[in-house]
Every structure is written in structure tokens, then in C-alpha cells.
Amino acid sequence: MEIKAIRGFNDVLPEEIGTWQFVERTAREVFEGFGFSEIRIPILERTELFSRGIGEATDIVEKEMYTFTDRSGNSLTLRPEATASMARAYLEHKLYSFDPVAKLYCIGPMFRYERPQKGRYRQFYQIDAEVFGVSNPMVDAEVILMLIHFLKRVGLRDLELEINSLGCRECRPPYREALKRFLTGRAFLLCEDCKRRLEINPLRIFDCKVETCKGAILEAPQVTDFICEGCRDHFEKVKEYLSMAGLSFVINPRMVRGLDYYTRTAFEVVSYQLGAQNAVTGGGRYDNLFREIGGVDIPGIGFAVGIERLISLLPERKDLVLYPHLFIAALGTEAQRRAYELMNRLHLEGIRAEIDYEGKSLKSQMRRADKLKARYVLILGEAELAKEKGVLRNMINQSQEEVPIQSILSLLKGKILRTEKS
């Protein structure tokens, strides 16, 4: 029986990895430039971290988590998101004892059991950035600015920022009740999942993609009509700081975040780069999370970017695929020995070089060099070794020249550096 990857668990192949590395490298450069530090968290956590932090009434906890019992009887879960784990690490390792403000980011896989489709997998990768310990709306705008800057750096254009305020633990309950009363009269339009959500957490109905559910909420009460004076003041200041940072935005009163821990500021970024609106990413403030998982009041705000989703929106970049700088076509035993020695020297200097290990014909080796898209080919045979020279062929313009073998390293460095800078 042929063994294949598990459905929804995908390989990232060599021709794709250059784009992934570019996205991850850009994230590190941008985030660290804003004062963030990387943290690496386990992929397995105790189940209660997510059931308490994310919320029992969310689809993630109810339907999508990979949960199992280990040999000691502990309920463990593959992390479905990173924020709760990063908050747990902040508390467990007392990162607040050095400085109550922590700016952290992580990059890695998450796991959710949902129907696989294009750009959505059961193992998927996210870039998460979080700020713990600051309630000032200034940091809300700072996090959003960093996100927009990152998205532009990787190549997204025509971005639109949507924001909303979700209220706090004091002012949200009246809104939830008003929403519940409104939707109870329209329950016949709701899908079975949303009928259940209506009793447990009616805000989750805003996330439903079923058309009748979308119609049911068209004239629903808006959360911004219910927020308290403190939340209203916070939201006004967020808008002020966004404007100071030079960011335009649209207020979307229908926007909610899918997890229970979100409060106050919520935001999404959409791109019109491909014509139709495409949601890229979102995030928000979650001042309730630490109370749920640790019994302490610590504010937080952050966002998560799905790497697969982001890459699907990026323009194609062929320059991110790594091809050999040089292929050494060696003819004869002594030429192969010299090619092997030279290849190792080149590798140690950061030049990607390949050789033929089989002793094939020159025609066959040139065909392989072309297939590998090598930029140059160095031809070494008995005649070339006798003169201590090789024939260096430019595979792009097909020009060639004789070069001293001893000078090939410095010669290639110069050519490659000039090409990669241009």
C-alpha cells in the first residue's frame, strides 16, 4: 500500500520553500525592528488552556481541536492557535518580573480539524505577534502599524484596514442580550449551529458563512451602540493614534473576533490586490485572557497571520527559488577529483555548486546543469587540467571563457555578487 500524507497535512516542497523563508525572514526583520522578541512554544498543551482561554462555546474548542488522553490520563491538545500558549509561557516563566511589558512573536504550525480546502489545512502555519501588559490604546495602533508595514514589505498592495470595538466584560453582556432578543425572532433563518450559538454565545453568529444567517444579522444591533464610556474613549484614542501613524481605516460595526477572549479593539486587513476583496488577517485586544487562564488581570493585544493564506495572495517571485550558482562538468577520473575538491571549497564560501557523481558524458552533464537552472557551468577535462584552466560558460547568454582554476573562487564571487545586487 502506498503511504501518503494525512489529509489536510501538506508538504512544503523545495520550489516553494524560498517564498516561505522570505515571509518568515521579513516577519523577523520587521517585528524585531519594532522591539519584539521571538518565543518558541510547545505544540502540545493541556486541553484546559484552550477550553478556558479560547472559550467552551467556540467552534475551535467544540469541533476543531486535536485532543487525546496520554498514558498518564492527561487530556492534551495540539495547539489550535498560539496566543493562549504565549500567555501561559508569560505567566509560567514570570516574564513580567523583568518588565511587565512583553512584546513577543512566534512562527510555527497550528492544528485544527476542519474540512481541508485551498489555503486551509488541518496543519497550518501562523505568524503570531502579541503585546502583554499594556492597556494604553497607543499600543493598539502600534501593533496595527507593524502588521500593515509587514504586509507591504512582503509585497501586498491595495490594503484596507477595518476596525471595531467589541466592548469590555462590563458593557458587552447588555449587547449580547440585545442581540439575543433580536435574533430570537429570526431563529427560523439560522442554521442548526447558529441556533445553538444563539443560546450560548450569539456573537459567534457574525462569523457564520451560511447565507440565511448572514441575512438574519443584517439589521442586528451594533456593538458600538452599547459600549461604555471607557471603551468609547479607548476606541476614539485608537483612531486618533492610527491617524497620527498615517493609517487610514474603515469602521466595520459588524466585525467580531471568533474567540471569546477578545475585548475592545478588533481589526482586520483585507486586500483588493486580486480584484475581489480578500481577507488577509486580523487580531485584536484580549484583556480577559489572562483572567481566564491565570486569574490575573493583564491586558494583551495581538494578531495572527496564516502563512499559507498570505503566500496565496503574494505575487510570484521566481527569484526566491534557489538554483546552483555553478555546475562543474568533469570528464575523467582526475577531473572528477578536482571537481569534488573545488565544490567543497565553493560550498565553504557560500557558493552553491553541484557536480555529476556518475561520470556521465558532457552532453548528459550539460543537460542536467540546464535542468537545475545553474547560472554557470565550469567544464573540466584532461586538456583543461593540463593548462590548469577550465571553460566557464554563462548559461544565460551562452558566452564562455577560459579561466584559471585557481582563480575560479574569486572570479565567481565577483560575478555572483554583481548579479545578486543588480
Q: In the chain, what percentage of residues exceed pLDDT 70?
A: 94
How large is the average pLDDT for residues 41-50?
93
Asked if residue 276 has pLDDT above 60, the reply is: no
In a shared domain, residues 367 and 309 = no
Give CA–CA dist 142/408, Å, rounded.
49
Whether residues 249 and 132 share a domain: the answer is yes
Residue 141 lies in a domain: yes
Q: Could you read off the pLDDT of 46-71 as tens digits, one per residue?
A: 998 988 866 655 666 667 888 999 99
Look at residues 262, 288, 313 and tell me which one is the last residue of a structural domain.
313
Helix (H) or strand (E) holding 108: strand 102-111
What digits encode the pLDDT tens for the residues 225-257? 888 999 999 999 999 999 999 999 999 888 876
Evaluate whether residue 177 is within a structural domain.
Answer: no
219 within domain boundaries: no
Q: How far is the C-alpha of 288 from the C-alpha of 411, rounded, in Å?
A: 61
Cell (9 digits) for 408: 575560479
Is 214 within a domain?
no
DSSP codes joined into one string, 193-235 = HHHHHHHH-GGGGGG---HHHHHHTTTPPPGGGT--HHHHHHH
Contacts of 110 (CB under 8 A, 6+ apart): 78, 79, 80, 81, 82, 123, 124, 125, 126
Structural domain boundaries, residue 294: 14-171+227-313
255 occurs within a structural domain: yes
Mean pLDDT of 112-137: 89
Are 247 and 145 part of one and the same domain? yes
Alpha-helix residue ranges (DSSP H) falling in 2-46: 14-33
Return the sign of the alpha-carbon dihedral for residues 123, 25, 38, 309: negative
Residues 165, 143 share a domain: yes
**CA 23 to CA 281: how far, in whole Å?**
14
Residues 29 and 116 in one domain: yes
CATH number at residue 242: 3.30.930.10
**Could you give the angle at the alpha carbon of 302 between the alpha carbons of 68 and 147, nearest 5°?**
125
pLDDT tens column, 310-360: 998 888 887 788 899 999 999 999 999 999 999 998 899 888 999 999 889
Residue 347 amino acid letter: H
Residues 296, 156 within the same domain = yes
Residue 195 inside a domain? The answer is no
The residue whose grid cell reads 440585545 is 178
Output the DSSP codes for 361-401.
-HHHHHHHHHHTT-SEEEEE-HHHHHTTEEEEEETTT--EE
- The answer on 297 and 368 residing in a single domain is no
Establish if 364 belongs to a structural domain. yes
- What string of H, E and C letters represents the secondary structure of 233-247? HHHHHHHHHHHHCCC
Domain boundary residue, one of 313, 334, 349: 313
Output the domain CATH number for residue 400. Answer: 3.40.50.800
Of the residues 294, 313, 332, the one at which a domain ends: 313
Domain count, the chain: 2
Q: What is the mean pLDDT of residues 211-238?
A: 87
